[in-house]
Amino acid sequence: MISVGIIGLGYWGPNLLRNFAESAGARVTAVCDLRDDRLAAAAARYPGIATTKDARDIFANPAVDAVAIATPVSTHADLALRALQAGKHVLVEKPMAASSADARRLIEEAARRRRVLMVDHTFVYTGAVQKIASLVSGGELGNIYYYDSVRVNLGLFQHDVNVIWDLAVHDLSIMDHVLPSRPRAVSATGVSHVAGGHENIAYLTLFFDNNLIAHIHVNWLAPVKIRRTLIGGSQRMIVYDDLEPSEKIKIYDKGITVNSQPDSVYQLLVGYRAGDMWAPQLTATEALRAEVAHFVECIERGTAPLTGGDSGLRVVQVVEAASESMAARGRLIELDAPAGARP
């Protein structure tokens, strides 16, 4: 049984608390937050857990095997590093850190301490994304042409990061998991409509090898909530709508065929193929429940997590470069190939 301490009971922390408390392989020993009302609510729902306003109490507690961190982005690296140094396994909310340098530091510390470092890229553990990954890796879509996503809603405005660090991280983690290659460069534009605030609307374009391109639109100032992604391949195409109650993935047997004479572009003929559409059956397991079970399993078996430090680093590198591009009004920023990158 893995004993877990949870730091941060704001928006996401209570979800982590619930799932760890209900996990067959874990128990919650202690929780930490700066607000008394949040601690009181946790203690009332889960009698017997220790509460504290000082994270050092959790780090120093020998009964705590692992720490889950759900705090503002600017605090992720410091808290995760201190937890690792205290010999704890760590699950840290996305994004992993506020800089790639901090992300690398966490990876190195986890390796040195032989501890599991996992990033809370929740969407990777959904049945929908797992199915997409299976379809792509199995060649069902053919060559991947594009990834196009819209992720918008009204709020929640974040005080310490812009909308890319908040919302685009989801799509970047999905892309990191399902696409056959890594982005080589990124261009981003965005603006803030709140005086002195961070950008609340942004557009990212990512360039890959082999003419694969990705576009992500994120927005905190939309009148409706949209979570829709299109993935186009040479054989089939996918529409992924996370807000759909049942048919979250629809696979379309649609595309084009090109016939051309090599001697003349005027002989180019484009044909259109329109076949069937089907919606595959997906697992109904809550993504965070699956993620928590995976974290516990990795600790027990000493295996690397699906969304470990390397994937967290890759996402942070793209977000970091996108923010740099946005500050330069869309200047193209080349991306270095991080550890664990695909060709």
**Cα gap 145→136, rounded to integer Å:** 12
Residues 180 and 328 grouped into a single domain:
yes
pLDDT class of 241 with cuts at 50, 70, 90: very high
pLDDT value of position 263: 58
Residues 321 and 243 grouped into a single domain:
yes
Q: In total, how many domains does the chain have?
A: 2
Residues 105 and 61 grouped into a single domain:
yes
To the nearest 10 degrees (0 to 180), the angle between helices 36-45 and 13-22 is 20
Which tens digit of pLDDT belongs to each residue from 288-340? Answer: 999 999 999 999 999 999 999 999 999 999 999 999 999 999 999 999 865 45
pLDDT at residue 257 tops 80:
no
Query: Looking at the domain assignment, is residue 92 inside a domain?
Result: yes
pLDDT at residue 24 tops 60:
yes
pLDDT value of position 107: 98
0.85 exceeded by the pTM? yes
Helix H, strand E, coil C: the string for 174-200 is HHHHHCCCCCCEEEEEEECCCCCCCCC
The DSSP secondary-structure symbol of 341 reads -
Query: Looking at the domain assignment, is residue 206 inside a domain?
Result: yes
Query: Looking at the domain assignment, is residue 140 inside a domain?
Result: yes
Looking at the chain, the whole-number percentage of residues with pLDDT higher than 70 is 94
Query: Looking at the domain assignment, is residue 235 inside a domain?
Result: yes
pLDDT class of 261 with cuts at 50, 70, 90: low
pLDDT value of position 157: 78
Query: Looking at the domain assignment, is residue 341 inside a domain?
Result: no
215-248 burial code (b ≥16 CB/10 A, e <16): ebbbbbbbeeeebbbbbbbeebbbbbbbeeeeeb
Residues 143 and 257 grouped into a single domain:
yes
53 CB-side CA count, 13 A: 6
Q: What is the CATH number of the domain that holds 25?
A: 3.40.50.720
Query: Looking at the domain assignment, is residue 114 inside a domain?
Result: yes
Residues 325 and 183 grouped into a single domain:
yes
Which tens digit of pLDDT belongs to each residue from 37-91? Answer: 999 999 999 999 999 999 999 999 999 999 999 999 999 999 999 999 999 999 9
Residues 277 and 144 grouped into a single domain:
yes
Residues 303 and 247 grouped into a single domain:
no
Residues 258 and 293 grouped into a single domain:
no
Which tens digit of pLDDT belongs to each residue from 162-199? Answer: 999 999 999 999 999 999 999 999 999 999 998 888 99
Residue 148 phi, psi (nearest 5) = -130, 120
Query: Looking at the domain assignment, is residue 109 inside a domain?
Result: yes
Domain residue limits at 234 = 124-286+316-334
Query: Looking at the domain assignment, is residue 260 inside a domain?
Result: yes
Residues 234 and 195 grouped into a single domain:
yes
Residues 271 and 296 grouped into a single domain:
no
pLDDT value of position 254: 83
Q: What is the CATH number of the domain that holds 234?
A: 3.30.360.10
Residues 162 and 150 grouped into a single domain:
yes
pLDDT at residue 341 tops 60:
no
Residue 310 phi, psi (nearest 5) = -65, -45
The terminus-to-terminus CA distance of the chain in angstroms comes to 39
Helix H, strand E, coil C: the string for 88-122 is CEEEEECCCCCCHHHHHHHHHHHHHHCCCEEEECH
Residues belonging to the chain: 343
42 CB-side CA count, 13 A: 31
Residues 117 and 41 grouped into a single domain:
yes
Contact 243, 169 (CB under 8 A): no
